[in-house]
Amino acid sequence: MKVAVIGATGLVGSVMLKVLEERKFPVTDLILVASERSTGKKVRFLSKEFTILSMEEALSKKPTIAIFSAGAEISLEWAPKFVEAGTTVVDNSSAWRLTHALIVPEINGDTLTASDKIIANPNCSTIQLVMAIKPLHDAFQVKRVIISTYQSITGTGMKAVQQLKNEIAGYDGERAYPHPIYENALPHCDVFEQNGYTKEEMKLSRETKKILDDDSVLVSATAVRVPVKGGHSESVNIEFAKPFELSQVRQLFRETEGVVLEDNPAENNYPMPITAADKDEVFVGRIRRDFTQENTLNMWIVSDNLRKGAATNAVQIAEKLIQKKLI
């Protein structure tokens, strides 16, 4: 099992290596790629040191599977070349999400087939949303979702992490954002589209429909970047076609793989990024009926965006490919 990690020294790539170790993924040959300035550097994995290779060197090794986390431009250029070499690609960028299989293993992993050679990892904020609403959709039929996100700076990358560090230290350095992020909240995740929504907000709408395989589900989002170092939070309002009881909702979450119910406000128990850090589950709480509208629910969803929102989901896709004997 030759495994290539493209973008191995980035925030997501480094977590991918950690997750591969933790989950004891059957790696027989690890092939690491990063930017040109990192080529030749050493990275430790399972107590061994591996040298960062160029993309051409990695391609020549014809890996069994390549997990990409190096941005859409790199994926668009190189993923097809790896497929030509016989590699199956799991891509963490936005490059292939609307044109290829878009997979959250707990939800639609069983739809993967031998013809799926480029498999897209959904957007981090989408993954945690669909993990929480899928059991509710099956039971009560989701009609409409209104979501506001509170997204960690790690969703932007190392440049954003450094901007926050600089601002805390009072140093005026290079910025990842058009405004300060320290002691601030930016209603601006990704670029703005012509309709006034950001690309991040439209990802939530488009990807949710595709993963649930239901174009009738309406999703309207406002995505906000906050000065949190790890973990995305979401305030979600869901309108259903069918009536529900709160006890039914809570029981569904207790029974859903990969979801953890934290819903006891009287004891100050609810999901938070600080307690979701370094965990693979999606945490759900603050569950309450919307008293202003029939068959409508409010809840709060939190997940570690670098793990289930990116690295863990990608590795789980690879595991599903092995399970289905597709690689």
The residue ranges of every structural domain in the chain are 2-122+310-323, 125-305
pTM more than 0.95: yes
The residue assigned the tokens 């039971």 is 139
**Has 232 been annotated as catalytic?**
yes
User: pLDDT digit of tens for each residue in the chain (327 aa)?
Assistant: 999 999 999 999 999 999 999 999 999 999 999 988 888 899 999 989 999 999 999 999 999 999 999 999 999 999 999 999 999 999 999 999 999 999 999 999 999 999 999 999 999 999 999 999 999 999 999 999 999 999 999 999 999 999 999 999 999 999 999 999 999 999 999 999 999 999 999 999 999 999 999 999 999 999 999 999 999 999 999 999 999 999 999 999 999 999 999 999 999 999 999 999 999 999 999 999 999 999 999 999 999 999 999 999 999 999 999 999 999
Question: How does DSSP classify residue 273?
Answer: H
Name the CATH superfamily for 2-122+310-323. NAD(P)-binding Rossmann-like Domain (3.40.50.720)
Which residue, among 140, 132, 166, has the nearest Cα to 276 in the 3D structure? Answer: 132
CATH 3.20.20.450 fits 125-305, yes or no: no
The one catalytic residue among 124, 179, 188, 189: 124
- Rounded CA-CA distance 291/225 in Å is 29
Q: What share of the chain is helix, strand, coil (3-state, %, to 5)?
A: 35, 25, 35
**Has 189 been annotated as catalytic?**
no
